[in-house]
Amino acid sequence: MVDLLDCTVMPYAWGSRTAIAELTGSTSPSSTPEAELWMGAHPMAPSRVTRSGDAACSLEQVIAANAERELGSHVTSSFGPRLPFLLKVLAADQPLSLQAHPNAAQAKAGFADEDRRGIPRDHATRSYKDQSHKPELLCALVPVDALCGFRRIADTLLMFDELGVRELEPVLAGLRTSPDAQGLRAVFGSLMTMPSHEGSRIVRAVVTACESTRSPAFAREHAWARKLDALYPGDVGVVSALLLNLVHLEPGEALYLDAGNLHAYLSGVGVEIMASSDNVLRGGLTKKHVDVPELLRVLDFTDGPVAPLRAQAIDAHERVWKTPAREFQLSAIQVAPNEAVTRDARGPEILLCTEGAAAIVPGDDSREIVLDRGRSAFVPASTGRYTVRTAGPARASLYRAAVNLT
């Protein structure tokens, strides 16, 4: 049996009022920002299902009732009786906070430490909401701009030399004498721990320089610094952002973010998949809690360029974005009118339709599910083989979320 999902939209302030509404066929513009459409069984906002003859319940409850049937023995033995991934549509009209995620060992230790200190798990100052790491992949549906990882140090020093901000020189001194990960840690740590009045003064000087410089090499970085300052005036995250790679994704290109990667999505819409976790350590450009010592502990200060990840073809209908994450694998399926594609479920799967309409037919010929644009379905591991065909005159495009176990 394949289950049609009823999913929650998260109304974070940075979200779009049009992107998710138009994808799902809702009223556009929406009355509040719509930032993320969650598809999965995360306890914070599990999707809901209605099975024939049963009352509506959460996907989390469905899995808990029979994990072997829903997840399969391989997934259950590897990750326990829970869906190991969370699928989202992310729609950013404004930049997200600078943030990073812990690795598995750091997540377990941080969770235990905050429990020992008596920080409620739903408290605003809590960084570790669970014991899982959170590798993630974002695939662009429209052009996306993002900050991702520390730029090559030589290029960063060149950029700041061109800006010529005298007030910033004491901060950069450590990087000039130690142009490596240790120097980057010193610069970032200095920015994050300086008094707010000093930080505001440096931000103002840097933004003024970005407004007046005519250097073409870093024009996009300077423009984003001005935008970020307009949203978060005086926030040292404006300067920290200038240490990072500014990455542009065209539709179909993706970013994979492993533990310790300092990043921020700036604008655009994409399909995002991650290990099912809500552990976030923020580093600026936010009014939310920032735990500087913990952030410095988990950050990876390796420098270097970031190349967009491109999908690899599996066959004529499906292409996959390969990552080392065991919890998830994201691929895209396209079906032309009057075509049908048969697939074998790789454990539990979620299918999201982003173009046209598709019918999902389980191999046992039980009730088919029709996915209109913006709708999603859960495919239990017990489904085995299923078929995807178009349910309208146009081609259908779907994203397929599965577990990356072989």
Is the N-terminal amide bond of 362 cis, ω within 30° of 0?
Answer: no
Are residues 349 and 400 in contact, defined by beta-carbon separation less than 8 angstroms? yes
Helix (H) or strand (E) holding 345: none
- Residue 124 vs residues 137, 352, 364, 365: alpha-carbon distances, Å: 26, 32, 47, 48
What residues have CB less than 8 Å from 368, skipping those under 6 apart? Answer: 2, 359, 360, 361, 362
Q: What is the DSSP letter of 44?
A: T
Beta bridge partners of 312: 320
Tokens of 19: 């992107």
With b for 16 or more beta-carbon neighbours within 10 A and e for fewer, the 193-209 pattern comes to ebeeeebeebbbbbbeb
The Cβ of residue 105 has, within 10 Å, a number of other Cβ atoms equal to 10
Are residues 1 and 81 in contact, defined by beta-carbon separation less than 8 angstroms? no
What residues have CB less than 8 Å from 266, skipping those under 6 apart? Answer: 92, 95, 96, 144, 145, 146, 147, 224
Residue 144 has φ and ψ, to the nearest 5°, of: -125, 135
Tokens of 73: 């023995």
User: Which is the catalytic residue, given 82, 282, 343, 373?
Assistant: 282
> Using DSSP, how many helices (H) and how many strands (E) does the chain show?
12, 23
Are residues 107 and 254 in contact, defined by beta-carbon separation less than 8 angstroms? no
Size of the chain in residues? 406
Cα 404 to Cα 406: distance, rounded to the nearest angstrom: 7
The crossing angle, in degrees rounded to 10, of helices 169-177 and 181-193 is 160
Q: What is the DSSP letter of 166?
A: G
Examine the residue annotation and report whether 48 is marked as an active-site residue of this protein.
no
Cα 17 to Cα 327: distance, rounded to the nearest angstrom: 31
Name the residues annotated as catalytic: 282
